[in-house]
Amino acid sequence: MKIGIFPDDDSIGRAAADLVQELFTHHPQANLGLATGSSPLATYRHLIDRVSSGTLSFARGQAYTLDEYVGLEPDHPQRYRHVIYRDFLSRVDFPAQSVHTPNGNANDLGAAARNYDQSIAQAGGIDLQILGIGSDGHIGFNEPGESFSSRTHVGVLTDQTRQDNARFFGADIDAVPAYCITQGLGTIMEARRLVLVAQGRSKARAIRELVEGAVSARWPATIMQMHPDAWVLIDEEAASELELIDYYREVWEKSRA
Ligand code: F6R
């Protein structure tokens, strides 16, 4: 894995946006995988600025989001489809028909999950997947115990995740849905490049497990150790439990020299 440790959120966002821009410069028809939530906001800000200034365009690309809550009212502001439009998609130039999100309100959620997986495969797969990480080690909404080869599926959120996300639901954990539909770990691992961004002390344990822990279903993100092109871009606080932090800094600097 490539591990970049940055002084602040803005520099994480710039580095992640550089990777996205490099992809679209060489491959304007690329498929970009998007995460919702707070972690990628600085990345999205940098990408929005570059699209606004004309140095980057997604006009020929496709976007696929990772996951969605199940059962929120169609107009609920915390539906991930709405959140990602508010935070990113409404301010860049992906054509509307090129944006794909899992349907958490489908009558047949199993079929919706299978169809979503198929649509990614038919499009040729995700070229670059942006990821956040849950404090319990989830990526997408793949919670502890999830199969490493899972496809897009309906899952049950942990109390930890519902507690973490209650801040978006008026601090009311009961208002956070218990179910989700998410790309599986197998689906995510098929992306050609993974770029995980994380900030803050609350992510430090999960980052330690991701980078230095044993590959284990207890910490689903550890499967990224098996990916040939995974990037972990974090701030000092998220890096604070890494045993070999000085070594990772040295490798990063030498690989940029
Ligand atoms: C969101 C997603 C989740 C989040 C994770 C961290 O689409 O897939 O894995 O990335 O829960 O959330 P934040 O960034 O809000 O801390």
Query: Is position 10 annotated as part of the catalytic site?
Result: no
Model-wide pTM > 0.95:
yes
Whether the per-residue pLDDT at 205 is higher than 90: the answer is yes
Alpha-carbon distance 219 to 232, whole Å?
Answer: 15
Confidence tier at 221 by pLDDT (50, 70, 90): very high
**Which pLDDT score is estimated for 154?**
98
CB under 6 Å to ligand 1: residues?
A: 35-39, 66-67, 132-134, 138-141
Q: Ligand 1 pocket: which of 43, 141, 152, 205 to mutate (most atoms <8 Å of CB)?
A: 141
Distance 70 CA to ligand 1 centre (A): 16
Query: Is position 138 annotated as part of the catalytic site?
Result: yes
pLDDT tens for each residue of 4-49: 999 999 999 999 999 999 999 999 999 999 999 999 999 999 999 9
Q: Which atom of ligand 1 is nearest to the CA of 161?
A: 11
Alpha-carbon distance 155 to 111, whole Å?
Answer: 14
φ/ψ region of 41 (left if φ > 0, alpha if ψ in -120 to 50, else beta) reads alpha
Q: Ligand 1 pocket: which of 9, 36, 126 to mutate (most atoms <8 Å of CB)?
A: 36
**Which pLDDT score is estimated for 257?**
83
Catalytic residue among 9, 68, 136, 235: 136
Contact (Cβ atoms closer than 8 angstroms) between residue 8 and residue 234: no
